[in-house]
A and B are shown apart, each in its own frame.
Chain A
Amino acid sequence: MRSSRPTKQHRLERGAKQARAAAPDRSSEKFALHLLRRTTFGITPDLRADVADAGGALAWLEQQFDPESIDDGTCSGALAAWPFATTDPQVNHATMGAGNATSMEDLVRATLARQIWSRRQLFEVMVDFWSNHLNITCPSGTVWATKAWDDIHVVRANALGRFEDMLQASVTSPAMLLYLNNAQSRGDAVNENYARELLELHTVGLGAGYQHRDIVNAARALSGLSVWDRSDKAAALSLGTFRYRAEWHYVGPVSVLGWSHPNGDAAGGVEVARSLIAYLARHPSTAERIARKLAVRFVRDHPSAALVRRLARVYLDSDTEIVPVLRALFTSDEFANAVGAKVRRPAEVVIAGWRALGAQPIPGWLNRNNAVAQLRWTLSEMGNAPLGWPLPDGYPDVAAAWKGAGLTLTAWNAHLTAATHRLNNGVLWPDLATHLLDGAVPTSWDGLVDTLTARLLPGQRVSPAHRAAFLAFLADAAGAADPGALRPQDLKALLPVLVALVLDSPYWSVR
């Protein structure tokens, strides 16, 4: 705690050079905390207990790879507040007017609640990862009835499964077909939007060397993949679900980046699209792209080419299975040697605060506009509400993309709001001293700072200058020249602000 070493960030800058340091000890507390910061939305005492119960970090990781095995009752109870987070398009069409945002808003809030409360943390992190990889802006106009379906059947169904399965589900997802305009694409004048993003964002990426004719051919292969709408006579039972319109399918040979298909009749259009997706999912450029994105998410903003190559190989060798790739990633030396090398996105910063301060859903509370809904608007102000990125490429996950003055102030104020328990509609906040100091009244003010920072920043060393800054705040705030002269009764007023300052510190920004 009283180290005179350079700040964490200085050391992080040198992280790459240290990659060849001594073999990491994966049974260490340091490794466990590192893994938890990367694979969850924030460390809690319960999470650390789960790791201990599992018998260590890597054993805990294996449990997380099998989310169904983890009891998630508390979180499930909280989700009852947002019943339309999981409703099918037909239900949404039957119960709301066109463009009604209820289902989309319920989904955003439920997603946020899961990130805060689910014990299946790695699963939620991967849901977030894939929701961004296959981004469908939510809320946004055309997907009002269908985004929830996509969340369940595309992303959640496959978040720890095979990428090919996810992409196959996505290509017949009404939300994706509507979002990227394929639902209106006709073979005689194709809409290229989906085909372009499929190649650029979902699979091989810009560097793969495809030409405009590849985009047009991909669009032709996808033409006819559409959605039942109100103008369809048989729509009553299938409104908003996938529909193949053979009459809109382009017929004739198509080829994309080395894949080709005779595409001889309109009846086989879906199979043509499926064949293209199977090809693209296994394309070496896709493998490298997914591997790189995972490495950027979990290791560092600029991962080594060697790591990316290795993960891409695992991806291809495992027939696009994601868990083997993650296992290779989390057991790599590059991962172990990247402690502190990632910066949290704004939403994670605030969500981690809720988790650390022990916010709990009040069982049976069914108010749709509860404190989680209010938090959702705070995250919107920070430009980082779950699922909310306005473009098809998903939220960026590198430090450089998240600068901004108003955003920082919103985070600081969100920490104050959490620490002073001001958002309490449906959410229970434990007493700060009880939760963070185990109820013990500190015998000294530097003891308070040390206990608090050790609890909120486990495994991170607070520099002497920053420790002094916390103590100077206490002295300033209480009008005392010497922090040692503070009175115990000041604790009640000062603790929430001190907690907020710890969450405002650079240490908290580290993932």
Chain B
Amino acid sequence: MTEPTDECQECTSARSVSRRRFLQAIGVTGAAVAAPSMFSAQAAFAAGPHRGPVLVVISLRGGMDGLSLVPPVGDPNYAKLRPSIAVPQRTAIPTDDPRFGLHPALAPLRPLWDSKRLSFVHAVASADTSRSHFNATAELERSAPGTNVHSGWLDRVLRVNGRNATFEAVALGTGGRPGHLVGESDVLTMRSLSSFTLAGPDTLCPAMAKALRALHSDPKAPQTSSAVATLTALDTVGTINAQRAKAGAPATAYPANSALGAALADAAALIRADVGLAALAVEIGGWDMHIALGNAGEGQFAALAGQVAAAIAAFAADLGKDFDRVNVVTMSEFGRRAGQNGSGGVDHGHGNAMLLAGGGLVGGKVHGRWPGLAKDDLDQGDLAATTDYRDVLAEFLVRRAGLGQNAVSVVFPNYKPRPVGAFRRPTA
């Protein structure tokens, strides 16, 4: 592989970023990205323990309505725009900020709010304005508008970390690799801890595992690192599963029949097991509420938001003190229109709200510049976006994960993040 000679000062000095990884992340090397020399099997075995926070990205698929999650009850236009689906001020959870309440379904999160381990950012969006689920999701997860970078932003985070540990990044729930993680970092994907087992007859699995280890012992074979990582993960997950079975039902009540609750219960088990986790991706669909969104105590939104709130509250309670080394962020491809439609729902829009939970937060606060809902303040009928998702994520990367600005510029190419003030500056 020939490397270009136009050295960029910023890139070469980037913390934890080798030049190759940088070029790879920004797509300069094109087809050469996949040069095997960069992906020696050795790398997979050489990871040190992860010391930073665990980022838990919850994708709210379908376009979550931020104006219901964090209703701007102090804005007189809010009720006017949504005559039958605005969250009434009297039922919203107060926030000390007269402009905003919280949806009453978020009541389970009240203790986190009070202990400053929960906050929101309002009027946040990606650069994509297509209002297409697919385009907006693709752009949000890529987070590299106007560039030729074809990977997911979280994949680039892992690549600047450069550790390649088996459990560094885990995608839970779907089994597939979510768009945030599209790329060439090593990611462990699983539907659940309990299903992460060899599907052979129980009595034969130990002999199978032994055979698989013997079959995948050549470090030069291209599939060895994945196979060894899989066998290692099977061992680790087997131990975790056995411990959970021994411990019986958890004291924490995760919401029943909730895929998100189940995924976060697994996430908590992985975090407690200290397996070197840096990033976890989970998702919950069902936010495409064109009809019957509801307002406060009932309707689709209350049910789904309540499920998210109960799952995060249980996750925090389950982790206890360990929750402080976690950061939950929610992301959704777009917000909904400011005004309701004829069916008691809202169509695809743009500006949204983002939930942040965990340690190191400037908590108990709704962050972001509020653009207002007056006719002229709207962006083609949508809540205008005043904060880019990348601003919030970059602040997490710098203040919580300790990445340098140069590494951040690899994660978000051609973008200069603006301060949000959602994360505390590191004290040490």
Chain A residues in the interface with B (C-beta under 8 A): 7, 9-10, 13, 137, 140-142, 181, 196, 200, 205-207, 292, 296, 301-302, 343, 380-383, 390-391, 393, 396, 398-410, 412-413, 416-417, 465-466, 468-470, 472-473, 476-477, 493-494, 497, 500-501, 504-506, 509
Contact = CB atoms under 8 A, between A and B. Distances in A.
B415 interface: no
A399 B36 CA distance: 8
A379 to B, nearest CB: 10
Nearest to B229: A405
Contacts of A381: 174-176, 189, 191
Taking chain A's interface residues, is the majority helix, strand, or loop, or is none over half, making it mixed? Answer: helix
A205 B148 CA distance: 11
A497 B208 contact: yes
B375 interface: no
B226 A141 contact: no
A480 to B, nearest CB: 11
Contacts of A465: 214, 217
Nearest to B174: A381
Given A9-B222, A200-B148, A501-B208, 8 more contacts: A9-B221, A141-B133, A403-B184, A407-B226, A477-B203, A501-B215, A506-B215, A506-B221
Given A406-B175, A409-B234, A469 B220 contact: no
Interface in B1-56: 27, 30-31, 34-36, 38-39, 44
Contacts of A405: 166, 186-189, 226, 229-230, 232-233
Interface stretch (B193-201, B260-268, B306-314, B397-405): B193-201
Nearest 6 CB-CB pairs, A to B?
A: A406-B189, A381-B175, A469-B214, A476-B207, A141-B134, A473-B211
B119 interface: no
A206 B207 contact: no
A404 B234 contact: no
B210 A409 contact: no
B380 interface: no
B189 A404 contact: yes
Contacts of A302: 35
Nearest to B27: A206
B252 interface: no
7 contacts: A141-B134, A405-B229, A406-B189, A407-B177, A407-B226, A473-B210, A476-B207
B193 to A, nearest CB: 12
A142 B132 contact: yes
A383 B188 CA distance: 12
A8 to B, nearest CB: 8
A497 B201 contact: yes
B39 A403 contact: yes
B36 to A, nearest CB: 6
Given A205-B30, A301-B34, A380-B176, A403 B215 contact: no
A467 B336 CA distance: 60
A400 B176 contact: no
A343 B222 contact: yes
Interface of B: 27, 30-31, 34-36, 38-39, 44, 130, 132-135, 138, 142, 148, 150, 166, 171, 174-177, 179, 182, 184, 186-191, 196, 198-201, 203-204, 206-208, 210-212, 214-218, 220-227, 229-230, 232-234
A89 to B, nearest CB: 17
Contact of B198 (A9, A140, A413): A413
Given A137-B134, A200-B148, A407-B189, A509 B223 contact: yes
Contacts of A408: 223, 226-227, 229-230
B290 to A, nearest CB: 11
A108 to B, nearest CB: 14
A506 B223 contact: yes
Contacts of B204: 477, 494, 497
A10 B226 contact: no
B230 A400 contact: no
Contacts of B196: 406, 409
Contacts of A398: 34
Nearest to B213: A469
A58 B356 CA distance: 62
B34 A142 contact: no
Contacts of A403: 39, 44, 184, 186, 223, 225-226
Given A9-B222, A140-B134, A406-B188, A497 B200 contact: yes
B150 A509 contact: no
A509 B190 CA distance: 21
A466 B191 CA distance: 31
A408 B222 CA distance: 12
A396 B220 contact: no
Nearest to A498: B211
A391 B139 CA distance: 10
Most buried by A among B135, B175, B186, B234: B175
A404 B36 contact: no
A9 B216 CA distance: 11
Contacts of A469: 211, 214-215
Contact of A142 (B135, B176, B186, B207): B135
B184 A401 contact: yes
Contacts of B214: 465-466, 468-469, 472
Contacts of A406: 171, 175, 187-190, 196, 230, 233
A161 B171 CA distance: 41
Contact of B134 (A142, A393, A500): A142
Contact of A10 (B135, B187, B218): B218
